């Protein structure tokens, strides 16, 4: 590979981790918000149906490479309780905001992340590339955790309409970084969306396994990551120190 001048990063479970109960709290806030809007249903059955719908829509989104949105599966869940409410209804928007408010309380950075980005940003162009259905929440979280200033480009699936591993996501990242693909690497945790996605787009992937190595819950994680793991030909890192060592090879 030629000299590296830009690095792309995934967000969740690569730079940011969430406590294992984040999703449970998020769905609790979603249910509370819908109750406040005077939809009547029992919490337990609704949680089960909401999850079923979320998994179904995300599974389809992954397959097609086209992003979905929480409001669509909330609307679908409500329908199963007899409420016909379009996804753009303000009561659903309020529920989506309530849902994501939990992530602001439960998310934190992988140790050393801000320092790593500060050092690398002096030397490389940096990009953020995230599969996140609700772009305002992803951008808000990146701001909240002090990440935004380090990135030259931020691409969120919910904004673009495509979802990793779709090559359009990676193309948009490359465009924003203004480099040719053989001068960049892409760091992510997910074997399918990140590693297979980057390879498919012609970009050198680096597999970040901090969450896996520490046996942390991969949040939001509606779909379990049961796919094939990357082979030995994919560089693997577990700490930011490992990333610096990897980059040193190309000096």
Distance separating alpha carbons of residues 86 and 16, to the nearest angstrom: 32
- The interface with Mg ion within residues 210-249 (CB under 5 A) comprises none
User: Cβ closer to Mg ion: 153 or 208?
Assistant: 208
Q: How far is the CB of 156 from Mg ion (least distance, A)?
A: 13
Q: Does 189 engage in binding with Mg ion (CB under 5 A)?
A: yes
Q: Does 10 engage in binding with Mg ion (CB under 5 A)?
A: yes
Q: Does 12 engage in binding with Mg ion (CB under 5 A)?
A: yes
Q: What is the dihedral of CA 128, 107, 102, 105, to 10 degrees?
A: -130
* Binding range to Mg ion, per CB under 5 A, among 27-35, 46-54, 105-113, 181-189: 181-189
Helix (H, G, I), strand (E, B) or coil at 66: strand
Distance separating alpha carbons of residues 130 and 28, to the nearest angstrom: 24
Distances (CA, A) of 23 to 17, 85, 103, 180, 244: 12, 24, 8, 38, 32
Q: Are 169 and 150 in contact (CB under 8 A)?
A: no
Q: How far is the CB of 241 from Mg ion (least distance, A)?
A: 20
Within a 10 A sphere around the Cβ of 182, how many other Cβ atoms? 12
Q: How far is the CB of 193 from Mg ion (least distance, A)?
A: 7
Q: How many residues bind Mg ion (CB under 5 A)?
A: 6
Site string for Mg ion, 14-53 (x = CB under 5 A): x---------------------------------------
* Binding range to Mg ion, per CB under 5 A, among 18-26, 40-48, 66-74, 184-192: 184-192
Distance separating alpha carbons of residues 35 and 152, to the nearest angstrom: 41
Q: Does 13 engage in binding with Mg ion (CB under 5 A)?
A: yes
Distance separating alpha carbons of residues 198 and 102, to the nearest angstrom: 30
User: Cβ closer to Mg ion: 10 or 53?
Assistant: 10
**Interface residues with Mg ion (CB under 5 A)?**
10, 12-14, 189-190
């Amino acid at each position: 590979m030629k000299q590296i001048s830009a690095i792309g990063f995934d967000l969740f479970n690569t730079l940011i981790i969430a406590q294992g109960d984040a999703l449970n709290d998020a769905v609790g806030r979603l249910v509370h918000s819908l109750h406040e809007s005077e939809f009547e249903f029992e919490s337990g059955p609704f949680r089960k149906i909401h999850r079923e719908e979320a998994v179904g829509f995300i599974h389809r989104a992954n397959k097609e490479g086209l992003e979905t949105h929480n409001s669509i599966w909330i609307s679908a869940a409500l329908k199963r309780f007899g409420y016909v409410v379009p996804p753009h209804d303000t009561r659903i928007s309020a529920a989506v905001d309530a849902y994501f408010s939990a992530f602001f309380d439960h998310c934190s950075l992988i140790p050393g992340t801000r320092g790593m980005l500060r050092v690398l940003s002096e030397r490389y162009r940096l990009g953020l590339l995230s599969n996140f259905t609700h772009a305002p929440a992803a951008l808000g979280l990146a701001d909240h955790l002090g990440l935004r200033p380090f990135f030259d480009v931020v691409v969120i699936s919910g904004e673009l309409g495509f979802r990793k591993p779709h090559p359009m996501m990676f193309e948009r990242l490359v465009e924003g970084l203004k480099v040719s693909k053989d001068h960049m690497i892409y760091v992510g945790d997910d074997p399918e969306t990140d590693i297979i996605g980057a390879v498919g787009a012609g970009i050198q992937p680096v597999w970040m396994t901090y969450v896996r190595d520490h046996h942390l819950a991969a949040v939001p994680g509606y779909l379990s990551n049961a796919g094939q793991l990357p082979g030995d030909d994919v560089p693997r890192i577990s700490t930011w120190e490992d990333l610096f060592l990897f980059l040193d090879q190309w000096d």
